[in-house]
Amino acid sequence: MSAHPKLKTSNLRTWPFARRAIPFVFLLVVTAHANNPDFYSVRDHGAKGDGKTDDTAAFQKALEAASKAGGGIVYAPRGNYFFAGHLNVPPAVTLKGVWESVPAHNGIRDRGLPKPTDDGTTFLVTGSAGKEDGPPFITLNHNSTLKGVVIYYPNQNPEEEPKPYPYAIAMRGKNPAVLAVELLNPYNGIDASQNERHLIRDVHGQPLRRGIFVDHIYDIGRIENVHFNPWWSMKPKLFQWQQANGEAFIFGKSDWQYVFNTFCFGYNIGYKFIKTKSGDCNGNFLGIGADDCFTALEVEECSRIGLLITNGEFVSFNGPDPTMIRVGPNNTGSVRFVNSAFWGPCNQIAKIAGSGTVGFSDCTFVQWDHKREGRHALQFESGNVIVRGCEFQENKPQISLGESVRRGVITGNLIKGRLAISNQSKGNVVLSDNVNDVPPSEESK
């Protein structure tokens, strides 16, 4: 038990020992860093952090000093650091700001510029404006890490359509990591391709065109606690552009991708799975969500091994044809949704094509066919179908099966209102034990 159980922070000024202890503890922390041979301050290498002086060369000088020593922590104290160029973080080097967890910037003034007096470590990026295919602002390599910073593009105008820029961060080599970083308003966020075992954790912000792009991964990547919300700007012209063009999470080739507790709001596509020249994706996606996206999740193509999507929440209600799930005609892989919820006044929950297998198990469907045009919640054009143990909470058509559906099992579902399953399949389909709340005597009326 404390010797002073009633001592509170607000009373520290009344305690002489406390007034002396606080600066002493701070001095100990600073001294510990100063005496650490693996610790390099960018200020010691010429960085100003005044928001005006180009600090690119000073940062790179500090990074190279750590690299020559075999690795270490390059520390950027509180300040607004201006960059006209780009940075390369060498192997075994961590570039670190003051934040230990990702910060929030709600209600930012002055076109988004954080106040230099109280907003930690902020990187102001201006290089390669208008050149989407230019070098990324920061490149991470083997065992290198970026942690505890805000990345902000001060020349983006929150009132207008965004200006193209390259990716803010590129992850290369083995075990690169991005931790506790706010991507406040990059055009392109993180290029997590051409690496092994990437770790992206505690990243928030508003990437405008692309959030995270994953490709050419042959050894398990991890994305955890990543949330993309329109914290920087919801001005009509910019936000409408983002909803028409933005893609929050894009997955190409990735072998055993793990994604946990991720969310996006206000994009054209929330989660997109594509096939690149490297291949396609399989993985485990747990606790993912997409709100107010024209399409919450789209599978152009995925691996035959499959996508396991569990505890998802998907909402669509804007756009030319608001739909939660789309699976394209070229898909040959397996896609499974388990214990997931779908709501919002959309046109339909899912439009499914391709020759793969798509399944919904123990899912909840709350809203669809908001214009009452007779659209089914789940529309299967082709492939293999599994729908079991789900609940359809509106008295509207539930499932349609096209002629090209090869096999299907639709069983054990709870239906509100009349059972309305349209089966045009020429394949082998089992419909059984689907229970509605209309008495059998009323079904034929």
Per-domain boundaries in the chain? 35-215, 246-445
Closest C-alpha among 325, 276, 323 to residue 303: 276
pLDDT at 20: 46
User: Top-level CATH class of 35-215?
Assistant: mainly beta
pLDDT at 15: 37
The mean predicted confidence, pLDDT, of the chain is 90
Q: What percent of the chain has pLDDT over 90?
A: 86
pLDDT at 444: 56
β-strand pairing of 138-140 with 87-89 = parallel
| Average of per-residue pLDDT across 421-437 | 96
Q: What percent of the chain has pLDDT over 70?
A: 88
Reported as a pLDDT band with limits 50, 70 and 90, residue 33 is: low
| Average of per-residue pLDDT across 63-90 | 97
pLDDT at 82: 97
pLDDT at 12: 36
| Average of per-residue pLDDT across 200-211 | 98
- Residue 212 pLDDT greater than 60, yes or no: yes
Whether the CB-CB separation of 180 and 148 falls below 8 Å is answered with yes
Q: Which residues, at least 6 apart from 223, have a Cβ–Cβ distance to it below 8 Å?
A: 192, 200, 201, 212, 214, 249, 257, 258, 259, 260, 262
Least confident segment among 31-35, 165-169, 302-306, 387-391: 31-35
| Average of per-residue pLDDT across 372-392 | 98
The CA-atom distances, in angstroms, between 439 and each of 371, 376, 413, 416 are 27, 22, 16, 11
| Average of per-residue pLDDT across 263-282 | 98
**pTM given for the model:** 0.90
| Average of per-residue pLDDT across 205-220 | 97
Cβ of 50: how many Cβ atoms within 10 Å? 12
pLDDT at 8: 39
